[in-house]
Amino acid sequence: MPRRVLCHFKWVTEKKESSAQTLTEVQDCFSASSLLGGRFSLTSVLGESKLEVTTNSCLPGRHRQAKRKGIPRKLVIIAACVILLSVPVLAQTSDLIGRADASFDRWSGSFSFSTYEAQLRKALSLYEEALPSVLTDELQTRSHVLNRLAQGYFELGMAYLTNRDEQEEAYGKGKDYALASLRLDPIFVETEKESFRAALRSASDMKAIFWYGNNLGRYLNFHMLTAILGGMKDVQASFERALELDPSYLGGGPGRALGSFLAQVPAFMGGDKDKARAALDSAIKIHPAFIENYVDIADYIARPAKNWGLFCGEMKIALAKGSDEVAMATWPLYNALALQRAQDLAAAHPCGN
């Protein structure tokens, strides 16, 4: 049976330079297709027309047989050649993403906060190198790479960067990558034309909307006018939508993000301490080992209210989790950061005194 390959000619015809170079190398009857065993069948879509090309014993000097429907033979050759050339490119892209995933990994083996920064930076570099080679119709792969970039830049800025300009740049990149991921969904794009906030509230990619909200929230610390003019409402809309889609993500991440947001922003921008506490409590129920949940209650709710009983109770739990190796290994990066916050808070406010 002939081998069948799907090809999108719209993409092929945009690669004119690559196609022309290929044609000089292919002498007769798709001679390069002999690499595919001498029989080559191609099915493609061009607008609404379809094409099938079959070649038998396709070697230089041999007779070629082709069935074509409304598309020139030259375009057929270009498509076939580009497919052949794309094989090593696709393999290289897959390798880059695999290496990026391995570098991003923080669960395999022991975790060191100080050395993980280099791993994270390497992962971001590899993801960015791979991204241009991911075809636009490979939605799952593009979404994975874009969402990892959005998460990675948020974590780089939040965990490691101290220079304000570098932080702003990191959160800006994370925000833009998350938005690019959201725009892979044509429904989001159409809704955005009418209302960006409505598009956020109807987004279907939970990871993209979650990391968009997180990066935007940090980015707005450097752009207060944008925050006041509606940016903070976009952050809240993002967290609320993420909570609807998957409250369990990242150890109750959507509830924790929403609770932290509501606890810190003033009331006229949507802040609400009671709703914040409820959201953080819900995150604790989802994953009790995530230390940040307890620290946020102590830092953003108990401490401003001088509720030292609540403060001490949450600090006690957080510090106890920090001495639990299993708990620390469950969320190594975030628990390392939260434990340091807990220790700093406890030193500044020794059980509320």
The pLDDT of residue 306 is: 94
Domain that holds residue 326: 253-353
Let me know if residue 28 belongs to a domain.
yes
Q: pLDDT means per 10 residues in the chain (353 residues)? A: 36 36 34 38 33 37 43 48 53 90 93 96 97 89 97 98 98 98 96 96 96 97 92 96 97 96 89 95 96 97 95 96 93 97 92 62
Q: Which residue do the tokens 């959507």 mark?
A: 254
Let me know if residue 184 belongs to a domain.
no
The pLDDT of residue 81 is: 46
Let me know if residue 133 belongs to a domain.
no
Q: Is the CB of residue 113 less than 8 Å from the CB of residue 333? A: yes
The pLDDT of residue 90 is: 66
Packed helices 249-264 and 232-245: angle between N→C axes, nearest 10 degrees: 150
Domain count, the chain: 2
Q: Is the CB of residue 218 less than 8 Å from the CB of residue 167? A: yes
Q: Is the CB of residue 164 less than 8 Å from the CB of residue 222? A: yes
The pLDDT of residue 184 is: 96
Let me know if residue 115 belongs to a domain.
no
Helices (H), the chain: 9-13, 16-25, 73-104, 113-130, 139-159, 164-182, 186-194, 196-201, 206-219, 224-226, 232-245, 249-264, 273-286, 292-296, 308-322, 325-330, 332-348
Cα-based distances in Å from 262 to 70, 221, 267: 60, 15, 8
Tell which of 56, 85, 114 closes a domain: 85
| Strand partners for 7 | 44
Q: 259: exposed, middle or buried (C-beta count within 10 Å: 0-12, 13-18, 19+)?
A: buried
The pLDDT of residue 77 is: 47
pTM for the model stands at 0.76
- pLDDT tens digits for 31-67? 333 333 433 333 333 333 333 333 333 333 333 444 4
Rounded Cα distance between 148 and 294, Å, is 26
For the record, the structure tokens of 326 come out as 């299993």
3-class SS of residue 54: strand
Rounded Cα distance between 324 and 133, Å, is 43
Residue 13 CB contacts under 8 Å (≥ 6 apart), including other chains: 19, 75, 78
Let me know if residue 301 belongs to a domain.
yes
The pLDDT of residue 88 is: 59
Q: Which of 284, 290, 293 is nearest to 331 (CA)?
A: 290
Let me know if residue 132 belongs to a domain.
no
Phi, psi of 160 (to 5 degrees): -125, -30
Tell which of 85, 110, 142 closes a domain: 85
Rounded Cα distance between 244 and 179, Å, is 19
Rounded Cα distance between 80 and 21, Å, is 13
The pLDDT of residue 30 is: 36
For the record, the structure tokens of 180 come out as 């690019």
Q: Is the CB of residue 159 less than 8 Å from the CB of residue 333? A: yes
Q: What is the DSSP letter of 184?
A: T
Let me know if residue 351 belongs to a domain.
yes
Residue 38 CB contacts under 8 Å (≥ 6 apart), including other chains: 56, 57, 58, 59
Tell which of 32, 57, 85 closes a domain: 85
